[in-house]
Chain A
């Protein structure tokens, strides 16, 4: 073995160790957090970076968080060049400076080993209120980022081990739920400090020189695994086009175009031709678009390849500046992260369905159905309830899609009904699978969900959802899934359809119903097996017509 090489055993030991640390961080964060959004729904992600700011390991929580993290760390490194010291931690949420959307707050902690910078531990969590025009900070009708909440550029939240109370106070004062903010931020720090401690321990055991050599090797390893798969894809070019319902301000359709090219073991995703940035809140900062691209890359290759820079070495992502997928300030972006990112995936998969048809499923629900309910509870205390609701997952070449589940860019859990009713002035009237919403096919799409809340007090509701006009598409002869629908039911039992994006009010006793989209089917419905048809009928999921 050469002088400057480490053996595969050591590499594997350290790589596994790093992944394990990221996972431990995720568990610490979840357990120590305050808000239901993190505790019950696990809307957070953790990862480790090397001294050059390259991602090394991540805990698999939320795809949309993770893809964007490298840009977050880069932002901290550029902003604080020469001022990154032991005992510091940096915080940011600004989408134009390394963030995704304002509710996602990221904390970056540099790790030093014997005074040398060796890496970063990073945590990102979705905070359920960061100010702005509506409770929950997810205004579907925002037209500029200033309406979406407090913008935090990269700043030192901890200096030499001391938490900067001033910054904490600014954040708390700008949130409708300040106590939760503090608790959740402390939990993030706790996770980062755990990551820091563990990384130092690991280097202590294995030696700094070995660690540094291994870091390079870890990235090369992912690259090799990537190449082993991509070489089997045909050299081809294909286009994928998909649409969004609108930007929440106007109903004008938004077009996403991507040209996928595979040539000489290299992939190019070119989004030229995509709609210009819009007035409403569905714009994406570049980082979010990149997250969608990374998600697709991992899913079509091999999910077990460690996700790091090595995996993305042979990928070029071209996104025109000023387009909806690479928006410039002060565009509103809160929905880009949660909704447009899903469509980025859809457009890419549509293109890939022409290149590697036996690997690509039909479209999943294509939205996260963001629902925020806020107001004052019976004790006159402000409250904010946020959740996203699953739908159908697309039929695949091998099997049916899954019913009522989160797909693609998100994977948050639901909040237990018994927790909601104990904590908020809300009552859940129904939580069920939405019959007859799937796209037919040899392998049908998954069906959606119906979730209905009745409020005991007057509340403001923010909705941020998609696929109410355009439908999740079928593939290879499979049919489209059924669009989603949101409506309220008044105390006189009148049904009023609500737009997919926007803010409305409910009076005490009124009900909001969310019906989420079913997914597209895969393959000719005529080829569907009798047994499956009978099962669907007996289980009342698909009635025969």
Chain B
């Protein structure tokens, strides 16, 4: 029987759809269609109607989906007013959510703002109760206040409630009691409890995460239900899986309970696709670099594992690739450790008041667009700079179907840049590219050097519409020697959806010195978490042989306030050398990141974590036709004048058509390879080799 899977990645501008035959691995169809923000499912259904026969519909096994709905809700990008939400918390502490960490996001700005509290004070209710840090009840809960709160909630038409009590990560009993009350007394209400959403210490982050979940529940539920409805109407019986920020998918009904898990759904798919490459090609250190029209994103994959973090602020400002603390709403959940920068083809170059050339963060997007589009945009962008340097095809983008005008780029750069900083148009264009590259090299640095990793040990996978244009320059900056350009860089993220395992993460607070731990208890706690994962994966239809658990502990020296995540899957917890082994793993990692260890200090555990995976069958990359070292004649389209280096002049550069390149083909820089969805620039001192799967490997010579 034929088996079909579908990947759908809805972005701000485009919706990417990939339809694949699961058995053969053949891509049946890949599509890029315009996104309709108000009614995103419409574009999908219309396209699917065209591409799938009624027979095919029955063969569809799974639908995978990446969405930016959750992030956009907090950026005000969709016409969504955040739903009215209430918070119930311990008496004396309703303002924790508003005070946050009492820090302002900008130091020297008198008009600084704090992000508006996501739940206004009038809907933050207090209840008499108290636990201590061991989870012991020091003040029993007074439930008498609940009818009063309940009445206000009904009167105000609030349909979602967050429940966060102090120290509930150690004992959930009081939160459970409140939850039960609301379940009993309200029919249509969404409930988020902090012990279920984020059972870890640090009350502000836990409260904020739970509140975000509560706010997202109605939005995401509505979205998923409407999508599912359209699919059912269309005839699909296949389950819908949604990409989570942690790089795994989860079935849509799980997501409705934990929508905070899909905040970075969109950007995750690309990293997952890179991870698949790492596994398929057996690469131990891979950097994923994704550059599109407005942003660039970097993530690292070490030993075929995606690096995760739990620090994230929804709707926050980004400075040099790092989120500015206090500028958004903290959500504590495993996120793919991505560094992002407002730098894409549409990023605008400008000269500031001190006469410095700057690139971004403002983007011309697709409307008004770069100057060369001849829409309304008059500001020079990265695309304009690439164009007049000869790196992009002057006759048009997307196989010349999209007309562009280099002379407009030239005028724009002359007027807005060159004349102001006393450089020629071409020097200015080179400057724009160089500054953009420096900016982007920072996000690659953040996910490597700042995490104690050496970028020179890594292979860069560059994708997105603009990634392959800049990859070699970035690699030069970081002294990396090897780059891989996937087959369809522009659709790479959507492809990633088809490679994604189902993933659930669970955490349990255990706070003890590792020398004093009763490892039998720890083993049991791990098993409890794994059992939770098993139950959910079983419901999602996975067989035992396709289920995998990974164990981790968050450790620190006693007295430290920040933890390192140490994998424990390989450790036998019941051996008598366990604590020594764990300590040496921790010391090793501490040394790698901070440059020193404190051998005599005791190490404590703060949390244990389990990742539970439902493994799916991965597609296989197919071999392409083999050729000689020298590409066939048809592959060489033309020669074009391209400027690479400010010390030199324009050079006559061969332009190749990627679709005509065969395995074993080599191109020595300077050269350019063009294809529908991207352009790969190979500067001097770089060499391109096509492998048996059609992937381009760029090597520094």
Residues of chain A whose beta carbon lies under 8 Å from any beta carbon of chain B = 7-9, 11-13, 15-17, 19-20, 23-24, 27-28, 30-36, 39-40, 42, 60, 63, 179-180, 182-183, 186-187, 189-190, 193-194, 205, 221-222, 224-225, 228-229, 295, 298-299, 302-303, 305, 359-361, 389-390, 393-394, 396, 398-399, 402-407, 411-414, 416-419, 421-422, 427, 429-433, 449, 452, 538-541
Contacts and interface: CB of A to CB of B under 8 A. Distances in A.
Given A7-B431, A431-B92, A222 B354 contact: yes
B78 interface: no
Contacts of B94: 432
Interface residues of B, number: 68
B594 interface: yes
B357 to A, nearest CB: 5
Contacts of B353: 224-225, 228-229, 302
A193 B99 contact: no
Nearest to A537: B122
Contact of B202 (A28, A418, A539): A418
Given A31-B562, A422-B201, A303 B107 contact: yes
B430 interface: yes
B354 A221 contact: yes
Contacts of A8: 355-357, 421, 423, 431
B28 to A, nearest CB: 45
A452 B92 CA distance: 10
Interface in B519-572: 557, 559-562
Decide if the interface of chain B is mainly helix, strand, loop or mixed: loop
A34 B557 contact: yes
A144 B120 CA distance: 48
Contact of A224 (B99, B354, B357): B354
Contact of A432 (B95, B109, B201, B596): B95
A26 B504 CA distance: 33
The 10 A-B residue pairs with the shortest CB-CB distance, nearest first, are: A39-B561, A303-B108, A225-B354, A9-B431, A32-B594, A430-B92, A390-B102, A539-B121, A413-B101, A422-B133
A153 to B, nearest CB: 26
B102 A404 contact: yes
A290 to B, nearest CB: 16
Interface string B202-227: 11110000000000000000000000
B251 interface: no
A414 B100 CA distance: 8
Given A13-B438, A39-B561, A421-B132, A299 B109 contact: yes
6 contacts: A32-B595, A39-B562, A302-B353, A405-B103, A406-B102, A411-B107
B435 A449 contact: no
Interface in B130-167: 132-133, 166-167
A539 B108 contact: no
Nearest to B320: A20
Contacts of A24: 445, 449-450
B114 A402 contact: yes
A405 B102 contact: yes
Contacts of B169: 418
Interface in B106-137: 106-114, 120-122, 132-133
Contacts of A419: 201-202, 561
A501 to B, nearest CB: 22
A7 B422 CA distance: 9
A349 B423 CA distance: 41
Contact of B596 (A16, A186, A416, A433): A186
B594 A187 contact: yes
Nearest to B107: A60
A20 B444 CA distance: 13
A398 B111 contact: yes
Contact of A39 (B99, B166, B560, B601): B560
A540 B108 contact: no
A487 to B, nearest CB: 17
Given A422-B201, A422-B511, A414 B594 contact: no
Contact of A418 (B107, B167, B445): B167
B201 A224 contact: no
B108 A295 contact: yes
A541 B203 CA distance: 22
B100 to A, nearest CB: 8
Contacts of B445: 20, 24
A404 B595 CA distance: 37
Nearest to B559: A34
Nearest to B438: A13
Contact of B356 (A11, A35, A39, A411): A11
